[in-house]
Amino acid sequence: MSPSDLPVAEVLDRAAGPRRAEADELLAMLGEVSGERPVVWAGRIIGFGAYEYRYESGREGRAPLLAFAPGPAKHTIYLVDDFSERWPDLVAALGTHRASKVCLYLTRLTGVDRGALRTLLERSLAETRSQAR
């Protein structure tokens, strides 16, 4: 994955109606938590900061420290591996969501506890920074 020159607004506009305002809210929150400027990665992900990683297999690359992808049906927030197992109480406090190994899926931000979301972002960022090479 690599950064691109695509304008952030173009990616934000993929979320329509109320989700567009939510995308703006996520943009502001991730920017505040990371202290970094937004950059579009892989043509669809808005990332903040960057780090380099290397797996035991030898595969290496770059990725954003924090990132999200707004969309017409849901927002996808990319977090540290196994975030829901690391902080189950915090994930439970979020409200309505779905989760995978590294992705938090939010259909809407209504009903999502913003404090819990911010804390989850802060913890994920700290963990990612500690693992970066």
Q: How far is CA 72 from CA 23, 52, 104, 115, in A?
A: 10, 30, 16, 24
Question: What integer pLDDT is reported at residue 133 of this predicted model?
Answer: 63
Arithmetic mean of pLDDT over the chain? 94
pLDDT range class, residue 1, cuts 50, 70, 90: confident
Question: What integer pLDDT is reported at residue 63 of this predicted model?
Answer: 94
Sheet holding 66-69, edge to edge: 38-41, 45-48, 66-69, 75-78, 103-106, 98-99
Residue pLDDT, tens place only, 3-22: 999 999 999 999 988 999 99
Mean pLDDT computed over 33-45: 96
Mean pLDDT computed over 30-42: 97
Residue pLDDT, tens place only, 56-92: 888 888 999 999 999 889 999 999 999 999 999 999 9
